[in-house]
Amino acid sequence: MTLVVLDTDAASALILGRAPAALAASVTGHVPAITFVTLGELTVWTLVRR
């Protein structure tokens, strides 16, 4: 399987179930990964929005 690195917008769209069909299809069959910066941004996002 191929590793696919997602940016913050793509990761949040997938998490929220709002990803366009093309994005969801391109991730299917691959191992999704995020960077440390994206992890930080998503963590702050969850804390701010509770």
Enumerate residues 6+ apart whose C-beta is below 8 A from 12.
Answer: 42, 45
- What pLDDT score does 14 carry? 94
- What pLDDT score does 50 carry? 81
Instruction: Count CB neighbours of 8 within 10 A.
Output: 16
This prediction has a pTM of: 0.80
* Segment 16-40, tens digit of pLDDT: 999 999 999 999 999 999 999 999 9
- Cα–Cα separations (whole angstroms), residue 1 to 26, 45, 49: 13, 30, 34
Residue type, 15: I
Question: Would you state the structure tokens that stand for residue 8, as one six-digit string?
Answer: 């913050």
